[in-house]
Every structure is written in C-alpha cells, then in structure tokens.
Homo-oligomer: A and B are copies of this chain.
Amino acid sequence: MKRTLQSTVSRRMAAASRPTIKDVAARCGVHPSTVSRALSPAMKHLVADDVADRIKAAANALGYRLNMAAKGLRTGRSGLIGVLAPDIADPGFPPVLSGITDHLNAEGYATIVVDVGSNGSEQDLVDRLIARGVDGLVLATVTLRDDVVKHCLDAALPVVLVNRVDAAGQLPSAASDDAAGMRLAVEHLVALGHQRIGHVAGPQHVSTGARRRAGFEASVRDAGLAARHTPVETVEAYTRAAGREAALRLLARRIRPTAIVAANDLLALGVYDALAVRGLACPHDVSVVGHNDMPFVDMVAPPLTTIRIAQRDMGEAAARLLLARIAGPEAASEHIVLAPQLIIRGSTIACGH
C-alpha cells in the first residue's frame, strides 16, 4: 500500500519526463507485464486482440517510447553495434560506413563509430564499447596479426572484419578481392604495351597492403615480366606524402618504369606529386593506376585510372555477416569477397604513346 502510494507520488513529480510502461498500464487498467507483451511483436499472441489495441492506442496517446537501457539490462542485448574505423576523415571510409549503418539501422540497431588513433589504445576503445554492452563489433582497423582479434574472441563478442582481413582468417570478413584488382591493373597496363611496371605497395602489416602486393607480383610474373622490370617500393602508411617518397625511389632506378601501380588512390596522388617533382608528365611519360576509386579522383589532373571496389556493398555484407554471427555464433566464419572493377580514365596510355 504504502509503496504504491509512494510510487504514484514520484510518478506524478516526474510527470514532465518520459512515460513508462507503468503509465500506459495505469491508463488501461492492466498490469505492466500485459503492456510489455502487447507491445512486443514476439509476445503479442499472448494478449487478447482488443486489449492489445487499447494498449497500443494508449501508448500512442501518451507518446510512450520503449526505454532501451532498461530493456537491454533485462535482456542482455543493447541493440548497439560498435564500429572501429582507422580514420573517419579518410575519404575511402564513409561509403563503407554508410553501407554498414544503413543495413544495421534497418534492423533496429544503432551504431557507435569510434575513430582509432585520435583517442586511446584500440584495446581500451574496445573495452569501452564492451562496457556499453555492444552486441557486436565491426573492425575496419585490424592488422594481419592483431591482439584485438584475440581480445574479442576472448570476450566471446561477435566480430566481423571489413575491408581488411586477419592473417589466420579466424574472423568473418567482407573485403574486396585485392589480388584480382591488381591483376586488372597489371593486365590493363600490359595490354597497353607496358613492360616496366613499378608498384608502390601499402603497409605490409595490413591485409590490403600485403595482398595487393602479392597480387601485383603474381600478375607481372604471369605476364612474363622480369622481376627487375617490376620493382616494388613499400610505404608505412597510406598517405599522399608516403606515396610521393616511394615513387621518387622508383623513378630513381636505373631502369625507369613506364607505369606505376599504387596500392591505393592516396598513394597514387603522391605518385603524381613525385612525377611533378621529376618533371615527368602523366600519362605521357609514366602511366599511373590507383586503387579504391575514392570520390573525386575523376576530377584530378589527369583523371585517375583506378580499381573501383564495392565499398557500400562491403559495408552491407559486413553488417549482414555480423547479424548472422549474433543470431548464431557457432557458424563457421565466412569470408565475403567482392569483385573489383577497372575504371579507365586519363592517367594510363599506351606505352611509347
């Protein structure tokens, strides 16, 4: 009795705040549990139709909204998904992110995106997300051998990788076929008559860097080009400045390449810078191919020939994989591989004009 009175009073005092399931119940003269059932699609069959309708009407009238924190506390699922991004400002990432969030939003999940690098350690960020009770994680940041992978496996947290994969292939992933992309680039150049093709390789501790390099080497070998005619320079980071330095090294070689394949578009822009430094013209002196087809590389001079990867699809596939993992964690880890596409623009031209 006393307790009832008390809670009535406190409810009245908090009248300005959001209505709860109790308010709806009081208005309908039913028990809160009945309201909960009527409003939950899965439990609705337990409630008489007319009562359910009355409850829904009352909920609407009161502007009732489910409190996700309370639900999460009780059910152990938050409806939150964490996304770890290497750098939100990197123009390649937004399309992927948008694919992820669109799919997850449609399924009722919300996503927390955290930018690694600017803030604390990755481990720590993951722990903070776990504290928030995320139901799963999308990692766009993993290196080939990554402690975070183990950390997540230990925490029994559903995790998928996007864009990059781990060396052991333990975790499900959605990524572009890096080797196939390089093959497209190399075969395009070979078809144009290029025999001396350099490669600016990305960081070798991330899968895109390592696999694109491997794809390059396999493709030039298959094309019958000698190793000394297909030099590789590796960078430590996907930046324009790093691409410039690596390209300068390539151009300083005795046998100068007539074409350069960069591991991504940012590096390719750095290659442009290097050509400018050396007073070489693209494409007449050196052809250049990028990778990713990030926004606006069609606007640079010359417009960049590049490998388009299915970024949105990649994000969507990752989201789908994650939801599958959450639904049934026992499934084997699946690796979704998306086909890349060659986009020919102005930065490649037949060798010898």
- Which residues of A approach B to under 8 Å, CB–CB? 16, 18, 65-70, 72-73, 78-80, 88-91, 93-95, 97-98, 101-102, 105-106, 110-115, 118-119, 127-133, 156, 269, 272, 295-297, 299-301
Query: What's the nearest-Cβ distance from chain B to residue A274, in Å?
Result: 14
Taking a contact as CB atoms closer than 8 A, the residue among B102, B119, B132, B269 that contacts A102 in the complex is: B119
Residues of the B chain whose Cβ atoms lie less than 8 Å from the Cβ of A80: 112
User: Are A97 and B102 in contact, with the CB atoms below 8 A?
Assistant: no
Query: What's the nearest-Cβ distance from chain B to residue A318, in Å?
Result: 16
Taking a contact as CB atoms closer than 8 A, the residue among B65, B78, B95, B97 that contacts A69 in the complex is: B78
User: Are B98 and A118 in contact, with the CB atoms below 8 A?
Assistant: yes
What are 26 A-B contacts defined by CB distance under 8 Å?
Answer: A18-B130, A67-B73, A67-B131, A67-B133, A68-B133, A88-B98, A89-B295, A91-B91, A98-B115, A101-B115, A102-B119, A105-B118, A105-B119, A110-B114, A110-B128, A110-B129, A112-B112, A113-B113, A272-B299, A296-B296, A296-B299, A296-B300, A299-B300, A299-B301, A300-B300, A301-B301
Q: How far is the CA of A127 from the CA of B66 in the complex (A)?
A: 10
Residues of the B chain whose Cβ atoms lie less than 8 Å from the Cβ of A129: 110
User: Are B73 and A70 in contact, with the CB atoms below 8 A?
Assistant: yes
